[in-house]
Structure 1
Amino acid sequence: MASVWKRHPRYSILLVVLLLATCFVLVPSGPHEPPFKHMSFDDTTPDIKQRFALSEAFYEKALADRAALLKRFGPRPEDVETFPDHDKPYTIWNFFPAAFNCPYEVRHLGTLADGGKWVCGLSRLEQEPDCIVYSFGTICLSYVYLIARLTGTVLTGISGDSTFEAELLQNTKHCKVWGYDFSVKGFTNDIPENERWRTNFHAYGLAGKDRPATTNDPAMYSLQTLMAMNGHDHIDLLKIDIEGWEFETLEGLIEPYLLSGEPLPFAQLQLEIHVWDMPFASFLKWWEMLEAAGLRPFWTEPNLVYVDYAKATPSLTEYSFINIKGDNVVTRPARSHRLPPPPPRHPHGP
């Protein structure tokens, strides 16, 4: 073999050049740290606080990207169109990606059509002894209602859907569901009879402020009032689909908590947003209120059923949020349970 190199020295030179080139490509020129570490959900990242810290770093990057996109197409929020013409390659939803990572598994519950929702860490709810779920706009298929309203069609009957609630009950041991929807009389037959004892239904509406029922309008209650009526101090999962009233309702719900500094009383929020012709600046202000309260989106998908039926822009979009503030079933470490509330004070005590 050595004789080959002696007879053909150019082979030796070529080999040396190739080795040097390989080393130049593979060996870094200096210390290099990636901007973010890869998220891992196995035993190498056991600390839930570490997972949240990593996700928050990702989310900070998304906020910077939003500012850059706003500068490009604004620069003022008032200059940004919700759904611009074809000369501007964006929609409002590009400014608000679901950039936070659920620290557990993400699972879809309910029908794959309109009515299903994406949930963070259903495994955390499976054995939770005092699991509480609130579901607003529980029954009606929203796109049917919306198309009827937009076209002036008179509905003779609405096909209902309770598959989300049914699948949640079937996959948890102790969860109880409180459903509220003034447009129907109760849950559908999607929920089997042997699970009905874990459901409660009232024909109330959700609003920012309480309003008694009138001849033409149903009773409306704030979330705080309903929780007090039910004797609840927490909600593990809150689902809201109230056909455009989510802006006023969540503003009335969240503002007191922002003022007091207390965390929101729910661990995660499954929300359908009906932006329609809302100005971008107004939506941005509302969304930043959600972020200030500790809500982080981990999943989103447009309601394409509505787009198909209405032949319209994707004005309806599903978002799933987790609440990163306070002690709740998502933020506390696995295999630990909620701290019991302090005992009530005696009325004549100190």
Structure 2
Amino acid sequence: MSTSSISPKVQLAVIVLLSILLIWTYKSCSPLPVSQSTVPALVNSLLNISLNDTNCQLSLVESDGYFCELDSAWIERKHVYSSQDKENMKKRPDTIYFVSTWEPNFHCSHARRMGIMGDGGKWVCDVYRLRSSDDCLIYSAGSSGDFAFEIEMKKFVPNCEIHTFDKNLYVCPTNVCTFHQVIFGDGIQPDGSKSWTSIIQELKHTNRFIEILKIDIEGGEYAFFPILLNSNKNLLPRQILIEVHPTNVTLVHAFFERLRTNNYVIFSKENNLYAGPYFFEFAFLKLNPSFFNQSHNNNTHK
């Protein structure tokens, strides 16, 4: 069992008991006298340390309620992000484009790969946190009839409602997801497509929060994501799990910079060797604007 699963009160009790035992041992063995007031003073000090260690207000605010961890650890996350963001913004050229640019700048302690191994599976940031949600909503687009991701997600977080979209007609496994035959676009291009906002409105999800968007639309991301990211900010998903396809370098940079501007961090990156050396799976997590402070202004090269 990890220490994170033990309640702060239990941890505190253990610390206090061990401290009293240590002081008693010291009194028994030490030739120097120990004042009776030393014990309560030390215990109070330990109490204050323990209570301070449970403070996670900063991470709660800056992750929009997704993380609760020590302020000191969260501040270190911000330093790591700023350092890697600076490197990412150098946009180094490379024959295999993604090898030397757009590296993860955030790390989820309990990221979990959901779905099949290899092509089709996706890394999800701390998916166990969704178990406590009473209104968990997940979108999966462009899976071409492969429901392995949806099946595993439903097993792991049965409280989540999953909607699957594809341009072709498929049938979701029973009690796993709801299928919609839809082409993602702007409502005009591609022909017969629907925009992100119109899809959410038709499903009556405008007042709900989308936790995850898993999407693989075979290069269509470069046309679709500007539309998605220009929609109402309340409609943006917390996590975006996507396969990014090779294309014009300018379009690739614009894709990542749009996500960056909309407060997404990169928490996972892996090469999809099934598709070839130029295809990469990325996973993004949306944080509160306050997480970034001045790092974006400092790291952006104009």
TM-score (norm 2): 0.67
Q: Is the 8 A contact 1:240 1:271 kept in 2?
A: yes
Task: Please identify which structure carries the higher helix content.
Answer: 2
* Shift in Å, 1:66: 3.2
Alignment match, 1:153: none
- Residue in structure 1 matching 2:165, options 161, 165, 180: 180
| 1:99 shift after superposition | 1.8
Write the deviation string for residues 274-323 of structure 1: whole angstroms up to 9, x where unpaired.
Answer: 12xx232332222111101011110110101112xxxxxx2211011110
**Is 1:229 aligned with 2:234?**
no
Confirm or deny that 1:293 pairs with 2:262: yes
Of 244, 249, 263, which aligns to 1:273? 244
Q: Letter of the aligned partner of 1:295 in structure 2?
A: Y
Matched, 1:251 2:226: yes
Which residue does the alignment assign to 1:99?
105
Corresponding position of 1:206: 184
| Contact in 1 for aligned 2:169/2:181 (Cα 8 Å) | yes
From 137, 142, 167, the counterpart of 1:137: 142
Is 1:56 aligned with 2:78?
yes
Quote how far apart the aligned CAs of 1:238 are: 0.8
Provide the rounded CA distance (Å) in 2 between the counterparts of 1:175 and 1:326.
Answer: 26
Given that 1:98 and 1:300 are in contact with CA atoms closer than 8 Å, whether structure 2 keeps it comes out as yes
Percent identity of paired positions between Structure 1 and Structure 2: 25
Assess if the C-alpha contact under 8 Å between 2:197 and 2:231 holds in 1.
no
Asked if 1:319 corresponds to 2:292, the answer is no
1:44 Cα shift? 4.8
Q: Deviations over 1:140-181 (max 9, x none)?
A: 2xxxxxxxxxxxxxxxxxxx4211100000111311111110
Residue type of the alignment partner of 2:288: K
Amino acid at match of 1:210: G
Query: Residues 110-121 of structure 1 correspond to what in structure 2 (within 5 A)?
Result: 110-121=115-126
Give the drift of 1:264: 5.3
**Secondary structure of residue in 1 paired with 2:85:** helix
Shift of 1:206: 1.2
Answer whether contact 1:298 1:322 (CA < 8 A) is retained. yes
Q: How far is 1:121 from its partner? A: 1.5
Cα distance change on mapping 1:127 and 1:306 into 2, 3 Å: same
1:233-287 alpha-carbon deviations (Å, 9 max, x no partner): 3201111100000111011111345xxxx45531111111112xx2323322221
Does the Cα contact within 8 Å between 2:266 and 2:285 map onto a contact in 1?
yes
Distance in 2 of aligned mates of 1:110 and 1:45: 34
Unaligned runs of 5+ in 1: 1-42, 74-79, 85-89, 141-159, 308-313, 328-350
User: 2:140·2:165 contact (CA, 8 Å) conserved in 1?
Assistant: yes
CA contact (8 A) 1:254 1:264 kept: no
How big is the shift at 1:212? Answer: 9.2
* Contact 2:112 2:124 survives alignment (8 Å): yes
Cα shift at 1:202: 1.1
Q: How many residues align?
A: 224
| Change over 3 Å in CA distance of 1:161–1:185 after alignment to 2 | closer
What TM-score comes out, normalization by structure 1 length?
0.58
Measure how far apart 1:113 and its partner are. 1.9
Residue 43 of structure 2 aligns with which residue? Answer: none
Report the AA paired with residue 169 of structure 2: V
Question: Over residues 179-224 of structure 1, what are the superposed CA-to-partner deviations in whole Å (9 max), with x where a residue is unaligned?
Answer: 110123223xxx4x3x24xx211110111x12499xxx5x311221
